Amino acid sequence: MLSVILIVLAAIFFTGIIIRTKSLASGRKGPGILQPIWDVIRLFRKGVVYSETTSFVFQIAPTIYFATVIMAMLVVPFGQSRGVLSFNGDFIFFAYVLALGKFFSIIAAMDTGSSFEGMGASREALYSMFAEPAFFILMGSLALLSGHTSFHEIFAALHIGSQISYALAALATFVLLMIAMIESSRMPIDDPKTHLELTMIHEVMILDNSGFDLGLIFTAGYLKFAIYGALIVNLFIGVIPFQYAIPSFFAIQFLMAVSIGLIESFMARFRMSHNPQFIVALTSVSLLIFFGVLLILQKFM
């Protein structure tokens, strides 16, 4: 339960911090930290425009997308406190329930009959497919390391002792951060600021969404970021008591948001054709973690 509250709190500020960082980096003052939340509230109050090509799929998809993110959030633990749902193999449920949301957002994009949205849908499906093995090898390695099979037990049992496990935690942070970037369609995979439909991924899929539905999609996006942030935090806070763990949760989330902002300010988006290579390289980083775990457990005998 604690994790849900923390994730929601983090989600409120997260995107605001990114935008603020980007503004400061480019020498502007920028909007307030809570501006994304005000935007969503305004969207909830607005009317909607539906494309004449669309069917019920288009209307129900944002709801399902939002609900799957909520379900994924319920699975995430916080240090010693379990997630609302915690069971053996819950990280499989986590990945698959998010995939369900993606399934519906993809077909909703196809529902509009727009060539741009189909393009975005195709890219989204491809990139998230390439990101799957990285996540699963990472979780499989952590399961091997800790001897457990659920998020909570894995994270609670992660002891960061030797130098090699620091290296592993750093690599795992990198993998999770990059998966978060792919899932939320940020740099260097996708540029949310771009104004050219041909180069967008996520933004182009939701071109025809408006009003309440768009608000749901935005909210789900904010939550998704905070969820992955929470997973990263969990790599480090295993046995730390709450009075230190909670501040470090916010500190790490803040750091993550700032670094995303800085990355987006000083880096260009990859060429579309390079994205798959980059994402597949992520899997090899995961494999590195796996071999590191084998080293720690001294399985090479």
Partner 1 sequence: MMEMVNVSWIVTLLAIFALFFVPSNYKAYTAAFAVVINSLITSWLAFPALSGQIVELSIFAGTFMGDIAIRIDGLSAWFILVINFTSLTGVFYGIGYLKVYNNPAPKLTLHWSLYILFHLSMVWVCMLQNGFAFLLAWELMSLTSMMLVIFDHNNAQTLKAGINYLVQMHISVVFLTIGFIWVYSSTGSFSFEAIRSFFQSNNNTWLFLVFFVGFGLKAGFIPLHSWLPHAHPAAPSHISGVMSGVIVKLGIYGIFRIITFLNSDFILLGEIILSLSVLTGIYGILNASVHRDFKRMLAYCTIENIGIIGMGIGIGMIGIGNGSAIMYFLGFGGALLHVLNHSLFKSLLFYSAGSVFQQCHTRNMEHLGGLIKSMPKTAAIFLVGAVAIGGLPPFNGFVSEFIIYIGLIEGIHSNNLSQILLFVLSLAGLSVIGGLSVLTFTKTFGVLFLGQPRTKLEHKPHEVSKLMLVPQYIIIAIMLSVAFIPQFYLKIIGTALMQMNPLPADMTGIIEYANTIQGISMYSFLLIAVVTVVWLIRSLVMKQRIQRIDATWGCGYTAPTSRIQYTGKSFSKPLGKILNFLLIENKHFEELKPGEIFPEKRSYVSHYHDFIERNLIDPVLSRLNYSVNYFSFIQNGRIQSYVLYGIVFILAIFILTVFNFVS
Question: Of residues 30-49, which lie at the interface with partner 1 (CB under 8 A)?
Answer: 44, 46-49
- Helices 163-183, 275-296: axis angle to 10 degrees equals 150
Q: By CB under 8 A, is residue 117 in contact with partner 1?
A: yes
Binding residue count for partner 1, defined by CB under 8 A: 80
Nearer to partner 1 among residue 63 and residue 162 (C-beta): 63
Q: How far apart are CA 177 and CA 164, in angstroms?
A: 20
Cβ nearer to partner 1, comparing 129 with 267: 129
Q: Applying CB under 8 A, does 276 fall inside the site for partner 1? A: yes
Q: Is residue 270 close enough to count as binding partner 1 by CB under 8 A?
A: no
Q: Is 81 helix (H, G, I), strand (E, B) or coil?
A: strand
Kindly state whether residue 1 participates in binding partner 1, applying the rule CB under 8 A. no
Answer yes or no whether residue 3 interacts with partner 1 by CB under 8 A: no
Question: d(Cα 91, Cα 72) in Å, to the nearest integer?
Answer: 9
Residue 31 vs 276, nearer CB to partner 1: 276
| CB < 8 Å & 24+ apart, contacts of 24-30 | 25/261, 25/262, 25/265, 25/266, 26/265
Angle between helix axes 56-75 and 2-25 (nearest 10 degrees) is 110
Q: Looking at beta carbons only, is 62 or 261 nearer to partner 1?
A: 62
Joined together, the tokens standing for residue 220 give: 């789900």
Nearest approach in angstroms of CB 276 to partner 1 is 5
In angstroms, the CA 78 to CA 67 distance is 21
Q: Rounded distance, CA 76 to CA 186, Å?
A: 22
Burial of 93 (0-12, 13-18, 19+ CB in 10 A): middle
Contact 158, 233 (CB under 8 A): no
Nearer to partner 1, 118 or 238 (CB): 118
The interface with partner 1 within residues 209-248 (CB under 8 A) comprises 211-213, 216
The strand pairing partners of 78, in sequence order, are 81
Least distance in Å: CB of 215 to partner 1?
Answer: 10
Q: Could you say whether residue 295 binds partner 1 (CB under 8 A)?
A: no
Site string for partner 1, 186-215 (x = CB under 8 A): -----------x---------xx--xxx--
Of 122-151, which residues contact partner 1 (CB under 8 A)?
122-123, 125-126, 128-133, 135-137, 140-141, 143-144, 147, 149
